[in-house]
Structure 1
Amino acid sequence: MQNYSLEEKDSFTVLGIGTEIKSDYKDFKAINQEKKDFWLKIQQDGTLERLQDMAKNDYIFTVHEAINNKMMYYAGVLTEVVASEPHRLIQFPKGEYLVIKGEEKTAEVLSTKLAGTAFGQVLPEAKDFAYVGGPNTIVEMGQRDGLVYGEMWIPVVKKS
């Protein structure tokens, strides 16, 4: 099933606010609840709105990154603004990216679907490329016809 593309991307930096995911990496229900709680918190306390005020476009980035053996999860934006703690600048390298597109009724459902497709189908079946770590992101790009649309971007390398 060809539900993805490989695209060359320039390096980019996401300004993010994040949380550590503390659930076991195999406990998807608990992980998804932690993510849902995080989004609810940053929406209610105005953090997401302040982050979006610094953005240079309307995209909202959801970033997953392993740092010091911790599973980190961020909401972020592309920006030229230099912000202080507790924000983090997340660097994405120039190179080839696995890109999976989708649209769903909510951002939460879109995120779950894209990640499931990437890590449950495409990457395990890939023969010509591999994900070797580093941050990956789901980019919420907007709404059309009542659906949220976006893409998942995962840096990959060619297998030899």
Structure 2
Amino acid sequence: MTNYMLEEKDSFTVLGIGTELKSNYTDYAGITKEKADFWEAVKQDGTLDTLKSLAKNDYIFAVNEAVNNKMMHYAGVMTEETIPEATRVIQFPKGEYLVVKGEGQTAEELSNMLTGIAFGQVLPEAKDYAYVGGPNTTVEMGNRNGSVFGEMWIPVVRK
């Protein structure tokens, strides 16, 4: 049983440091490796810690967004602040979001699992709503019993 729901969210802003994903959008293995390499780099070079120091809460956002016909992926936090090295201020609109909950052994496993469930199962079967683009995000919310838990947030519209 997939744990998902529709939820109304206020608009919010995520400050992100990102990378362009070069793999074809159908190359799941390539995209997964690019994201993993990116996250390893932002953890190692202190970028993620810098972002966390600006955050309104403990959530870490892994944002996917198409920008100028490029597939972008960002590490981000919810904040109104900015820093010179930030790649983008990502605006999430007020409205309905598909929210898929889960947990994994690592943040990477959580993100990959939630993305697979949301785009591979829930959205293809959705009758009443649709994803029409815009930023979507996996939100790492914390740790529990040795696992990382969080949610995927995808803005949707009613059909």
Establish whether TM, by shorter chain, passes 0.5: yes
Is 1:65 aligned to residue 69 of structure 2?
no
Letter of the 1:105 partner, please give it. Q
Is 1:77 aligned to residue 88 of structure 2?
no
- Check the 8 A contact 2:15/2:86 in 1, yes or no: no
CA separation in 2, counterparts of 1:86 and 1:12? 17
Where 1:115 maps in the other structure, the secondary structure is helix
1:140-159 to 2 correspondence within 5 Å? Answer: 140-159=140-159
Partner residue in 1 for 2:24? 24
Letter of the 1:52 partner, please give it. K
How far apart are 1:63 and its partner, in Å? 0.2
1:119-134 to 2 correspondence within 5 Å? Answer: 119-134=119-134
Partner residue in 1 for 2:114? 114
CA separation in 2, counterparts of 1:87 and 1:3? 32
Residue identity over aligned pairs, in percent, reads 70
Where 1:151 maps in the other structure, the secondary structure is strand
How far apart are 1:2 and its partner, in Å? 5.4
Partner residue in 2 for 1:136? 136
CA separation in 2, counterparts of 1:67 and 1:88? 10
- Check the 8 A contact 2:65/2:71 in 1, yes or no: yes
Partner residue in 2 for 1:44? 44
How far apart are 1:27 and its partner, in Å? 0.8
CA separation in 2, counterparts of 1:57 and 1:111? 19
- Check the 8 A contact 2:96/2:155 in 1, yes or no: yes
Cα deviations across residues 76-100 of structure 1 (Å, max 9, x unaligned)?
A: 0011313234331000000000000
Consecutive unaligned residues in structure 1, runs of 5 or more? none
How far apart are 1:7 and its partner, in Å? 0.3
TM-score, normalization by structure 1: 0.96
Where 2:23 maps in the other structure, the secondary structure is coil
Cα deviations across residues 33-91 of structure 1 (Å, max 9, x unaligned)?
A: 10011011111111111111111111000000001110000000011313234331000
TM-score, normalization by structure 2: 0.97
CA separation in 1, counterparts of 2:107 and 2:152? 12
CA distance 1:40–1:56, shift in 2 (3 Å): same
CA separation in 1, counterparts of 2:87 and 2:20? 13
Is 1:5 aligned to residue 43 of structure 2?
no
Partner residue in 1 for 2:95? 95
